[in-house]
Amino acid sequence: MSDRTAVTLFSGGRGGASIARGLLRTPGIDLTLVINGYDNGRSTGALRSYLPGMLGPSDFRKNLLVHLDDRDPRQAALRSVLEHRLAAGTTREELGELVAEPAFPALPAEARTAITRDLAAFLRKLDSHPDGLDLTDCALGNLVFAGAYLRLGEDFNAAVRACARTFASPLGLVNVTSGENAFLVALKQDGRLLADEADIVAPQDAAAITELFLLREPVTAERRAELAARPVEEVRRILAGLRAPVSLSPEAGDAIRDADLLLYGPGTPHSSLLPSYLTPGIADAIAESRAAAKVFVVNTRDDHDVQGLSAPELVGRTLSYLGDPGNERGTVTHVLSHRAPEAPGVPSDVVAGGVWAGARWVTADLEDAERPGVHCGPRTVRALTEIADEAAPARAR
C-alpha cells in the first residue's frame, strides 16, 4: 500500500479488534469501522428498555478501546472508565458520587469534563424517572453513551461521534444505520425462535440459524410463547410483517464507497455481521465501492451461532444477505482464512483450488499463538496488505 489507504471494516464488539489494532498501527492507513447497535445483552438490554428508542452502545464502547495503550496512565484511565462495571446494588446516589468525585484521577482534563457532562445528563434522567433500571453490572462507558444520547436530543449517531471525540479515538466509528431502533431475532432450522441478540450469541442446540429479522419492538415472553405454538411458516410471515424500517447512514455509505480496501471482518456472524448486511442500500454501496479488494476474513475458531456451518457456507450467506448469491457483482473478491487443521469449516478442496464462488481463497498463518481463537494483528494485516497490493494493479487495468 502507498500514500493514504482508506480501509473500511465491518466489525462487531471484539471479533475484529486485533485486526483493527493492527491496521491502526500501520502507517498510511485511515481506518473506519462499520458496526450495528443490536446488542441486547443483560445490562445493555436493561438500558435499552429504560431508554426506549436507543440502540445498544456496547459494541461501539468496546471499539473505543482499540487504540488505548495501558502503558500511558491517561489512556489506562480512559480504558477504566469504558470497562468499569457498577457493583450489585449500586444506587443513584452512589453513581452521583462517582460523577461528583471521579474515581479515575489520571483522566485527561478534556475527557474528564466530557465524561462528567454526559454522566450528569444520565443522572438527570434517573432523577426524573427513578424506576425501571437496575444499575447492577452496567458498564460505566455505556452510561456515558446514554448520557450523550440524551444530551444530543436522542440522536444515537451523534452520541457515537461525541463519545469517539471524548475518548480520542483515531478511527472512524460509524453506525451502519441512521439510528433507527430495531431488535434482532433469529429463526433456527427446527423452527425455534431466538428472541433476542443475547439468545443468538449464547450456547445453543445443533440446529443452524436460518433467518434473521430486525423488528420494530422486542419480543416479549408472552409473544415468544404465542409464536412457539404456531407453524414456522406462519411465524416467518408474522416476523416479516414486524420488520423495522432501517436505512443506511450517510457515514457508513461514504465509508464503503470511498474504501480502497473493504473487509468483512471476523466475529459472531449472526449478531455482529449479517444483521448489518440487512440494511437497505448497503449492497449498492458495496457495488459502487472503489475498493480493489473486498475481503471476507474467516474466524480462526467457531462461535456458538455458527452451528457447523462451513466457511464457504458463511461466505455464501454473506453474499445472499447482500443480494449477490452468485457473486456476479464481485461483492467478495477474496477470502482469507487461517492455515491450520483447527481452522473452522475450511474444506481442503477449496484451499487446494484457491477459488470459491469467483473469489480467490487465500490461506495464511493468522492465529495469535498466545491467544487461541484471536487473529494475530500484524500477520493478518500483512496478508491483507499483500492481497490489496496484488489487487490494485489488476483493478487499474
Backbone CA torsion sign across 24, 26, 28, 32? negative
Closest CA to 39 of 18, 21, 22, 63: 63
Report, as an integer, the average pLDDT of 276-289. Answer: 98
What would the mean pLDDT of 195-216 be, rounded to a whole number? 91
Give 1's pLDDT tier (boundaries 50, 70, 90).
very low
Question: Which pLDDT tens digit goes with each residue over 165-205?
Answer: 999 999 999 999 999 999 999 999 888 999 999 899 888 88
SS3 242: coil
- Per-residue pLDDT reduced to its tens digit, 40-59: 988 999 999 999 999 999 99
Domains of the chain with CATH codes? 5-36+246-396 (3.40.50.10680), 42-156 (no CATH), 183-241 (no CATH)
Q: Is the pLDDT of residue 104 over 80?
A: no
Measured distance CA(26)–CA(302) in Å, rounded: 28
For residues 288-306, average pLDDT: 88
Q: What pLDDT was estimated at residue 320?
A: 97
First-residue to last-residue Cα distance in the chain: 17
Give the pLDDT score at 397: 47
Type of residue at 199: D
* Euclidean distance between CA atoms 21 and 17, whole angstroms: 6
Rounded Cα distance between 292 and 333, Å, is 8
- Give the model's pLDDT for residue 344: 58
Give the residue among 277, 360, 292 at the shortest CA–CA distance from 324: 277
Residue 66's region, left for phi above 0, alpha for psi from -120 to 50, else beta, is alpha
- pLDDT tens, residue by residue, 10-42: 998 777 899 999 999 999 999 999 999 999 988
295 pLDDT tier (thresholds 50, 70, 90):
very high
- What is the helix, strand, coil percentage profile of the chain, to 5? 45, 15, 40
> Is-contact 233 269, C-beta < 8 A?
no
Tell me which amino acid residue 50 is.
Y
Measured in degrees and rounded to the nearest 5, phi and psi for residue 355 equal -145, 140
Least Cα distance to 177 among 240, 250, 242, 267 occurs for 250
| pLDDT higher than 60, residue 396 | no
pLDDT > 70 fraction of the chain, expressed in percent and rounded: 96
Q: Please check the confidence at residue 301 and state whether its pLDDT lies above 80.
A: no
208: amino acid identity, one letter? A
Tell me the pLDDT tens digit for each residue of 312-333: 999 999 999 999 999 999 999 9
pLDDT recorded at residue 242: 97
**Per-residue model confidence (pLDDT) at position 340:** 63
Q: Higher model confidence: residue 291 or residue 42?
A: 291
Q: What is the pLDDT of residue 394?
A: 59
- pLDDT score at 347: 78
Query: How far apart are the C-alpha atoms of 59 and 34, rounded to whole Å?
Result: 11
Question: What's the chain's average pLDDT?
Answer: 92
In this structure, the number of other CB atoms found within 10 A of the CB of residue 224 comes to 16
